[in-house]
Amino acid sequence: MNKTRFISIGFGLLLAVLVLSSSAIADSNKGIGYQENSGLVTITTGNATIIVQTRSGEPMFQYFTNDGFNYTIIFKQLIEYYDLNNDGAFQYNETIPGVPIFTLMSVKWTFSGFIADVDENNVVTAVHFNFTSSTVMNKFYDSLDMVIAAHIFLYDTTIDSYTIEGGTELKFDIIINSYPWMKTDSNLALRFDITPAKGAKVSDCHGKPIDTNTNTTNMEKRVEHKENQVKQRINIQAGNHEGYFAYANQSRIRTTTQNQYHNAPVNASISTDGKGDLSTFLSFSHFDQLIYDPSIGSTTIEETSTSSEGNTTTTVPIAFIAVLISTVSIGALIRKRINN
């Protein structure tokens, strides 16, 4: 059962606990450990090690538990498409002729540095960092602006109805601006590829098995989400571990005709390559600015079967995350600098 606590999010307290560093190491015995080396970020907790890298252009998230369970998520593509069957989800036959698929291998990223929340006992209770697109080597998409803003918390934390498990789950906001829409009535799909641990079983949010040894490439199937639940999951189980790629069934979008963000539905579809890997396509309606927050994490079978009655979860407003995104981007709110 995860330890939890309440946190006041007053602006003065925020200034008091933020720590900014371009490349820092924290003692994992004092909460969350973190380090960056040439675009490769390593996060450590008492339960897991998470590596995030963008060296190839494609953002890669690698998850390891202390006893060897692992899996990998790669953010691969942006695909503009027509929703021909009106199911709200992407299928390959809905791609638009003449509109190129955008692969993230053409992006060069810049690392922001870390922001760490430190409590009165000098324990690191949260770590935040960004990767921002600095160069897009594709003439059709050179105006595209993207940020991946990652967050991990020591204690269970809820953001905009999305609960993040303390010490085991990394949330990463995807912020997209100035997407060069080729059509006025199309949707956009974000593709994530999942490589499970060897021998792992994969299932959808209902626990229904997904056969990754069958090739369904270009035959994507819509995922039926759990009702009345914001957080949806693709599960990866091996032994007593269950890893997951989690995503919200809603996004925050803004258009040129709207001054404020509003929630918009998100649908998912999946296909498998017959070699053990799974592709997940998350679909979004037209936008000028998008904020979306999937996550990766793991639990043990014992944890998932244990009642969480009595647990208290910290609730953080989405505005707090917006402040952190802005702060990491401009390098403001410096409390103290940690040297290697």
Q: How confident is the model at residue 260 (pLDDT cuts 50, 70, 90)?
A: confident
pLDDT at 4 over 50: no
Q: What is the mean pLDDT of the chain?
A: 84
The predicted model gives 169-193 an average pLDDT of: 97
**Which residue range is the domain that position 174 belongs to?**
11-330
CATH for 59: 2.70.98
- % residues pLDDT > 70 (the chain): 80
Number of domains in the chain: 1
Is 293 domain-assigned? yes
Is 308 domain-assigned? yes
Is 335 domain-assigned? no
pLDDT on residue 29: 57
Is 337 domain-assigned? no
Closest alpha carbon to 325 in 179, 177, 118, 164: 177
pLDDT on residue 150: 98
Q: How confident is the model at residue 119 (pLDDT cuts 50, 70, 90)?
A: very high
Is 340 domain-assigned? no
Is 132 domain-assigned? yes
The predicted model gives 246-273 an average pLDDT of: 93
pLDDT at 309 over 80: no
pLDDT on residue 259: 80
pLDDT at 219 over 80: yes
Is 339 domain-assigned? no
Threshold 0.85, pTM exceeds = no
pLDDT on residue 148: 98
Q: How confident is the model at residue 110 (pLDDT cuts 50, 70, 90)?
A: very high
Is 3 domain-assigned? no
